[in-house]
Amino acid sequence: MVAAINDGFASAPEVITVQENDFRMSAVLESEKRLGEDGEKTGSEAEIKVYQRRWLQLGLFFVYGASNNMHWIQFTIIGNLISKYYGVSPIAVDWTSTIFHVMYVALMLPASYVMDRVGLRWACLIGSLGISIGSWIKFFSASPDRFVVAFVGQTIVASAQVFVSTGPVRLSALWFGTNQVATATSIGCFGPLMGISTLFLIAPMIVRDHENIEDIGNDLTLLFLGMAILSTIVTVALFFFFQDEPRLPPSEARALQKANSEAETGQFWATLKRILSNKSFLMLWNSYGISGGVLDMISALVNPFLFGHFENWEKDAGWLGLIMWFTGSFASIIFGIILDKTKKFKALNIFIYAFTLVGEILFAVGLLMEIRWLVYVAITVLGVFGVTYGSIGFELAAESTYPEPENVTSGLLRVANQLYGAIMVVIAGVLLRTYGDVVAHGCVIIIVGVGLVLVLFVKTDLKRLNAKEHCHAKRNHVTGSKIVEPETVQTKL
């Protein structure tokens, strides 16, 4: 494995020092001895098996994620019609998407704790049930005097989404081998993105502007009903077909992680403390939040951004959202495959983030100069690179914090996304309405530039990829071998 990684990084060699206590190897080695007690394989190595069922697991999660994220921009994408039908202000409509950010920040830690205790299957079932309940509540809100009911349903869905966002990286680690884990994470993230892009397309097609308010209500009823039925079907499918994790681990990294988690049962808060003391993770946390926050801000404010610049801007708003999330969905899978093949985590992160900044600059220039084709090019660039950073960032975080549980690290990254998203929606919205386009876009460009600088300083420490080599080196040290130095293990990447 070390030789393969050396080949992949031959163009830019880097020496990474891993401190002796990074993985708490003593606990891992002690627990690893118990891996053979089930009769699978005795000795120092655990039996590894990759199951075909992993693709069914991934497919179910794909649909599950899509059914959730459709709700995020369900109201804002047709914000002018929602304001007209319910008689509420644009700010009230904006809060139907902002509530997703607020609830995630508030509930991520409890949800991660629950997932750590009950496992992936039951966490997904809890989330899917919440989505179904919220969807049916919204179905009964299709009346001009029931905006509060609609908002209650949206809040319940927003509360349930914390069990969706942390799932892709966890599922890929539980079911997929080392050479497919980044691809699986990208496909898992593809589901929620497809949900967003699909709704950008179908919501304006189903809910149209009518002079008669009741006709708008009929359109909304049809949209609410379709989403409620979909979420219910997904819940039933998860209950009967979705599993927690396979009997045997898919990789040695997962085997060692599982041994370590057994040695530290009930140490959730200690795990959280270790992750938050990781400086590289904290820089990644902020850069990830900025990148995701920009996309959330554009999605939530696409209508006011376009207002007054082009004729028929309402149609442009739907198409721009569809293009950004749809192209990003496929690009994330492609970059996931590239990452699995090359393992060049930092190079890809810098490359992707730099083009996210380019996309934001092009978006600002296209709107200010009112060049429609340039706006579409900019949105495509933001989709291909900005959306992709969401899944690639998950993998870099998992590598730099291994053997900590992926649901905790990805959950914390999503907190950054939601927190920055909520802040940037508010700030950009105020600046846009108060000072105009130039100030709003200028502020966003500066923030993305800061995120790029942070990415440059994120340390590429591929702990998960080198778990087996570190464990072997630790054994040599414990048994008195002179192969490694007593204080550190050095691996050239």
For residue 229, give the amino acid letter: I
Task: Identify whether the C-beta of residue 353 lies closer than 8 Å to the C-beta of residue 389.
Answer: yes
Q: Provide the residue count of the chain.
A: 493
pLDDT of residue 46: 56
> Which residues are bridge partners to 420 per DSSP?
none
What pLDDT sits at residue 260? 63
Taking only the tens of pLDDT, the chain with its 493 residues reads 334 434 433 434 333 333 434 444 444 444 444 444 443 443 345 577 888 888 998 899 888 888 887 888 788 888 888 989 999 988 888 888 888 888 888 887 788 778 778 888 898 899 999 999 999 999 999 889 999 999 999 999 999 888 877 677 778 878 888 777 778 877 877 777 778 778 878 888 898 888 888 899 999 999 999 999 999 999 999 999 998 888 888 777 677 766 666 544 556 677 778 888 888 888 888 888 888 888 888 877 777 787 777 776 667 777 887 788 778 878 878 888 888 787 777 788 888 889 989 999 999 898 888 888 998 999 999 888 888 877 777 777 777 777 777 667 777 887 888 788 878 888 888 888 888 888 888 888 998 899 888 888 877 666 666 665 555 454 444 444 433 333 333 333 3
Q: What is the DSSP string of 389-428?
A: HHHHHHHHHHHHHTTS-HHHHHHHHHHHHHHHHHHHHHHH
* 489 bridge partner residues: 18
Residue 492's DSSP bridge partners are: 15
pTM (2 d.p.)? 0.67
Per-residue pLDDT, 468: 53
SS3 19: strand
- CB half-sphere exposure, 490, CA atoms < 13 A: 9
The pair of three-digit structure tokens given for residue 174, joined into one six-digit string: 């539980």
User: H/E element holding 492?
Assistant: strand 488-492
Q: Degrees (nearest 5) of the Cα angle 197, 392, 321?
A: 20
Cβ-contact 231, 135 below 8 angstroms: yes
Residues 266, 362: Cα–Cα separation, whole Å: 49
Distance CA 177, CA 158 (A): 32
CATH architecture of 14-487: Up-down Bundle (1.20)
Q: What is the DSSP letter of 489?
A: E
Cα–Cα distance for residue pair 84/98, rounded to 1 Å = 20
Q: Which among 153, 139, 163 is positioned nearest to 228, based on CA atoms? A: 139
